[in-house]
Structure 1
Amino acid sequence: MKFKKTFLSLALTFILSQSYSSVLLARSVNGNEITSHHAVYGYFVDEWKNNNTNNMSPSTNPAIGVLSGYLKLWKPGISYDNGIKLNSDILNLNIQKVIQITYRRTSFQEHQAYLDDRRNQNYSVLDGLGPYKDAFIKGAGAGTTITDVIPKDAINVQYTDKGNAEGNWAEESSDLGSVVKLVDTIRNSAASTTPAKNYYKYPRPWRWSDKVKVLPTLVPEKSTNPSSDGGFPSGHTNAATIDAIALAYAVPERYQEMLTRASELGNDRIVAGMHSPLDVIGGRVMATAIAASALNNRDNTAIKNAAYLDAQTKLIIKENAISKDRFGNYSENKKNYTQRLTYDFPQIGDKNKPMVVPKGAEVLLETRFPYLDAENRRWILYTTGIPSGYPVLDDSEGWGRINLFAAADGYASFVKDVTVTMDASKGGFNAEDSWINDISGNGKLIKNGTGKLKLKGDNKYRGGTEINGGDLEADSKKAFGDGDVVNNSGMLTKEADKLNIRGKYVQLGNGTLELNIYSKNDVLRIKDEANFNGVLKLNFLNRYVPTNKEVIIKCGKIGGRFSSVATAGLPSGDRVNILYKNDQVVLQVVK
């Protein structure tokens, strides 16, 4: 109970103040890189309500306009059967991919594809919550009538999800009703794919080729009216992506897992033979813009804040983390999600267009990086975007090139100096976070505050690193890029084996260098001069006991001395002295 009260106070502080710690940018970059570009319809986040059947052109309907790259491939006809292929190679490849996927599908994929077709997408994506899924279902009163056992007569009978006992997917009046309401609100924010389907009039895959193997249990879902059965964009994918983004906003601890689950559901539309890869891509792009628009809408501020607060205080607790997690493999998630962004289509357009960050897109990372302000969440989106040139993805605003999975792993480049100020007292990602991407760029990283930031990438940024507060942990050999490292008054923690600092290292009197040592080969290497002061903390782990005259630091040249040394993990009665040589720091073990 004490934990809940503490977190409640911290979460309320987050919600009421919205005062995210700023990332200060110091280098002489003018910021034009992240300036938003309007489309012919304006900005999606301003015009999203115009997605309706009264607006049926790319210039009047943003949902049609954001997908207008499709018009380079396909010219819609007056009716469903007289459209013209403008790029036969890509459109033929699009259907060929469906044929290949439907021929290669496994029995598990067939089973999952049926469930993902018949269940309410709001319910389906809950798998992405992993260990919290069952607790959410209970707390939200969620339900479905489409059980895991597929009826034998499904090949002849169309089964429809009737939800829980009240006929809903979940209850807004439940203990987690605020999260349910957030999902419902975004799903009802002019999110329909009907206008776009009616405009593009692109037929379903099985209408293009009889080699497409529609899942037998979904044959009853095949419409007999082609004029109202468009394939582009995929409505299921659109809905699932919206749902996943809403839940990821409330539960950012499962951000990438939720995105992966939505991408799986979209892919299952291809597995079922019901949609093509381009249909699925279109559904994802549209959903991303819709979700951002709804999250930016001031009318929804209280809704999204309540959802985040309730999810953090009622769902993300140890007692709830008991369900099976189908999405617990990060590498597999990243591989699948990344491949589904483009489905390996060739880059047919300009491959060298700069990334464009849409107006308002930064809200999609608001709870994932609560210690960053809006501008710098835009920089993350800018540095993690999809390369240009892929079919459909090069819209004017940049929605198609957003890679939210990569963005959740932090910066991919320091275009400018980045100052991170974390506040551990706020909990969650404010207290501890990891940046996994390989970071390049000319900028400098400045770590302030009290939280811990872990750098896990193979980094090559050149501006250097400065620590003024909290803990900056090196979880890779090249965590600190190619520059100097200055520790003024925080803690530098070496977790990686054989950490390399590829410049100078300077530690002042209020700084601490913490070395986690697992073996005699676990050495900190500093390319240039090292000037030591402050505290040296040595943690001997994994039952490792150092021997006498063991080297723990190698550098170009040593200047200064640590003012004190603390150790942990030594056998009782053992202690160490530190010996300084010209280019080495050596342990002297005293029994």
Structure 2
Amino acid sequence: MQVSPRPLILALSIAVALSACGGTYHEGPLVIPAAPADQGAADTAPVPSVTAFVDTIATNQRGDARYATLETNAGVRVLAGMLDIWTPLTQLVDAGQTAPAVGTFPAVAASAWTGVPNDGTNGGTIRNATVHNYNIDYVVKATTGRTAEQTTLAYFDDRRGKGYSVTDAMGPLTAAWRASTQQTTTINNVPADATTVLYNDGGNNNGVGGTANANFGTVVDFVNMVGANGSTEPAKRFYKYARPFRWSSAVQVVPALLPARSSTPATDGGFTSGHSAEAMRNALAMAYVVPERFQEILSRGLELGESRILAGMHSPLDVLSGRIHGEAVVAGNLADPANQALKANAYAQAHTTLMAATSTTATTYASFAQSGTLSTDRFADYATNKANYIRRSTYGFPQIASTTAAAVVPKGAEVLIETRLPYLSAEQRRVVLKTTALASGYPVMDDAEGWGRLNLFAAADGYAAFKGNVVVNMDASKGGFNAADRWRNNISGTGKLVKQGTGALKLGGNNTWTGGTELTAGILEAISSTAFGAGDVYVSGGTLVANAATPVKAAKYTQLAGATVLEINALSATQAGLTVAGDATIGGGALSIKFPGSYKPKAGDTITVLGAGRLQGTFTTITVAGFAKVTPTYSGTTLTLTVTN
């Protein structure tokens, strides 16, 4: 759930020194509890001990397509799960000759599939009929039930440059992005004669790069770069899995796309979808330089893949494999040492130019990027984006293998989220990918490296489980997500969260981790009642904020003296902003009360702000927005405030 910024009403606040006003509620000297116990070493996500795509990406060459194998081609190998569904004829049987040495290709006919049946099977064998039938039936249902809007989008997503299509996920930044890249397209409608005439996009797809575009050329070069070694042709030629309309005449290809169908079935494989892979590559590149729209842009990438199904041109397996292929290719290029300067410069140039184009600053840019409404930004609804991303990640396939296999994280995959979670270490980002991974057992997705199970949408919302100590150190001076971020996953586990640094982190999930929370600096804000999990909360520095629609819960709460603040956004006169099941021990520090919602007290009202199983100690100062005087009353279980103008 997205939370609107709180009104700035600090100008009306007046701090009131209380120096033990109201008394203390404990026997003898106040005993400050120890911080939640350390939960051991941080979690890790070791690199799988298999051949890594990022180390062998250069083997995925279009020119090698006719002779690509699992052993020789990274793009073929990463999709090897398809062999559980479908066994193609081997390359050598099709070619009728011995494979040449690597890098040498004899001049033979373009088709290596001659002599096989022209019935959609290309001479292969279905190994899992349940999955195959589901795959084709899905397309039949999708194409017979598509809406007019989906039909039009399917046409655009087929005929337009994929880079241009993906940019409409930029929301409020779309116009600035397209102007800065100088992107163009000639596909702006569905021509009346499109059913008989093939229209190709005469635009420039990703825009103008290099020195010809002084303000944004580096960004365009970067987006183009991530597609290097990204051909899907080797996989198409190896797997030889036909397009859905060749498997079933019930598949209804969009009429305006009939001229785009190939007339040579034997060389027109459906697995994997080149459009889907390219859309994912473009989406990941754009999300890398505009992480403020990370989830929205990735949502558009997967939507373009679904358009291929709705068009009747590809099946869910084709599209799923395109996502996997695209993720691996982008990671391989981002991890390449030769591209480190380009990606850093592209990120910097994107922010400088887009801020200037939108009249924003480092402080206002992120909020502007998220300022659209459904009438102006069709990706403005987080819950819809999340649901669609999950659906498009599996397409409802039955799980055909273990559903509880431990997640593994591919070598180099952490680079995909390094600008989205810049304050985490590379190893921490790997753990985020591990804890947010999709379930195991789905067709094609259980590759040995782990590409198929990556859930990058969820990874953008931080950890989904804590194991050991999870130390988050945010440096607000670096700006962007280093200064402020929000995690929305449901976090489980037995670990402990330690928030350090000057930045601000919001937690918004239905969290259940048990190891506790320790705040030493900066801001840690609860935007859900269970934001702090099921453990103790300990504030030795910084500001803890309770800002949820219902009272924020803690097992125990401890606040030390000094530069510590508990900020409570009051919900009503009787509903405490923070409820503690056990002891609440207040060794000093400040308490700040604000009223961001509809509830506003009047002079003379008494507000319950803190409830506990046992309340001990007092705050040094209390601030209530809009009131000049406040009288606290500490009981053994509650703190109430009576306000006066």
Establish whether TM, by shorter chain, passes 0.5: yes
Do the aligned residues in 2 keep the contact of 1:500 with 1:527 (CA within 8 Å)? Answer: no
Tell me, yes or no, if structure 1 residue 59 matches structure 2 residue 71: yes
State the partner residue of 1:150: 190
Residue 581 of structure 2 corresponds to 527
Partners of 1:65 and 1:227 lie apart in 2 by 21
Question: Aligned to 2:209, which of 171, 178, 188?
Answer: 171
Residue aligning to 2:463: 411
- The answer to whether 1:582 aligns with 2:620 is no
Based on CA coordinates, which of the two structures has the bigger radius of gyration?
2
Instruction: Please say if 1:537 is aligned against 2:546.
Output: no
CA separation in 2, counterparts of 1:127 and 1:63?
28
Counterpart for residue 110 of structure 1 = 151
Q: Give the Cα separation in 2 of the matches to 1:504 and 1:332.
A: 35
Tell me how far 1:499 sits from its aligned partner: 2.7
Cα pair distance change 1:297/1:69, threshold 3 Å: same
- C-alpha contact (below 8 Å) 2:163/2:206 kept by paired residues: no
Q: Distance in 2 between matches of 1:76 and 1:29?
A: 47
| Counterpart for residue 260 of structure 1 | 299
Q: Distance in 2 between matches of 1:227 and 1:241?
A: 26
Deviations 1:212-236 (A, max 9, x none): 0000000000101012100001000
CA-atom RMSD, angstroms? 1.7
Matched residue, 1:452:
504
SS at match of 1:537: strand
Q: Contact between 1:292 and 1:360, CA under 8 Å: does it hold in 2?
A: yes
Match of 1:426 in 2: 478
Number of the residue aligned with 1:517: 570
Structure 1 residues 238-277: aligned runs within 5 Å: 238-277=277-316
1:221 corresponding residue in structure 2: 260
Determine the structure 1 residue equivalent to 2:32: none
Matched, 1:128 2:169: yes
CA distance in 2, matches of 1:222, 1:540: 61
Following superposition, the deviation at residue 319 of structure 1 comes to: 3.3
Counterpart contact for 1:525–1:554, Cα < 8 Å: yes
Among residues 542, 556, 560, which one is paired with 2:617 in the alignment? Answer: 560
Matched residue, 1:97: 138
Task: Please list, as runs of the form range in 1=range in 2, the aligned pairs for 1:422-501 lying within 5 A after superposition.
Answer: 422-501=474-553
Q: CA deviation at 1:316?
A: 4.1
Matches within 5 A, 1:292-331: 292-316=331-355, 318-319=358-359, 324-331=376-383
Residue 72 of structure 1 pairs with residue 87 of structure 2? no
One-letter amino acid of the counterpart of residue 175, structure 2:
D
TM-aligned CA distance change 1:277 to 1:531, over 3 Å: same
C-alpha deviation, 1:30, in angstroms = 7.8
**For the Cα contact (< 8 Å) 1:67–1:395, is it kept in 2?**
yes
Task: Indicate yes or no: 2:390 matched with 1:334.
Answer: no
Kept in 1, the 8 Å contact 2:209–2:219? The answer is no
Secondary structure of the corresponding residue to residue 226 of structure 2: helix
Q: Note if contact 1:141-1:171 (Cα within 8 Å) is conserved in structure 2.
A: no
Amino acid aligned to 2:316: P
Match of 1:502 in 2: 554
1:61 Cα deviation (Å)? 0.8
Residue 434 of structure 1: SS of its match in structure 2? strand
Does the aligned pair in 2 maintain the 1:178–1:303 contact within 8 Å? yes
Say if 1:522 and 1:181 are closer, same or farther in 2 by CA, change over 3 A.
farther
| Offset at residue 168 of structure 1 (A) | 7.0
Deviations 1:69-107 (A, max 9, x none): 000110002446201000111101100000000011000
- 1:162-183 CA distances to partner (integer Å, 9 max, x unpaired)? 114xx97433332211111111
Aligned residue among 389, 396, 420 for 1:344: 396
CA distance in 2, matches of 1:26, 1:205: 55
Cα displacement string for residues 108-128 of structure 1 (whole angstroms, at most 9, x for unaligned residues): 000000000001111110011
SS state of the match for residue 251, structure 2?
Answer: coil
Structure 1 counterpart of 2:47, which letter? S
Q: Which residue does 2:126 correspond to in 1?
A: 85
Match of 1:374 among 417, 421, 426: 426
Q: Note the C-alpha offset of 1:425.
A: 1.4
Q: Distance in 2 between matches of 1:27 and 1:232?
A: 46
User: 2-side partners of 1:348 and 1:212: how far apart?
Assistant: 25
After the TM superposition, which of the residue ranges 574-583 and 513-522 deviates more from structure 2? 513-522
The one-letter code matched in structure 2 to 1:528 is G
Q: CA deviation at 1:502?
A: 3.2
1:30 to 1:335, Cα distance in 2 relative to 1, 3 A: closer
Match of 1:184 in 2: 224
Offset, 1:332:
0.8
Equivalences, count: 557
Q: Which residue of 2 aligns with 1:10?
A: none
Secondary structure of the 1:210 match is: coil
The amino acid that maps onto 2:81 is G
Percent pairwise identity: 45
Structure 1 residue runs without a partner (length 5+): 1-24
Instruction: Check whether the contact 1:474–1:499 (CA below 8 A) recurs between aligned residues.
Output: no
Gaps of 5+ in 2: 1-36, 95-112, 117-121, 361-367
Q: CA deviation at 1:361?
A: 0.4
Q: 1:445/1:516 Cα in 2 relative to 1: closer, same or farther (>3 Å)?
A: same
Instruction: Answer 1 or 2: higher relative contact order, Cα 8 Å, separation at least 6.
Output: 2
Helix, strand or coil: the match of 1:152? coil
Distance 1:280 1:168 in 2: 22
Q: Is the 8 A contact 2:158 2:275 kept in 1?
A: yes
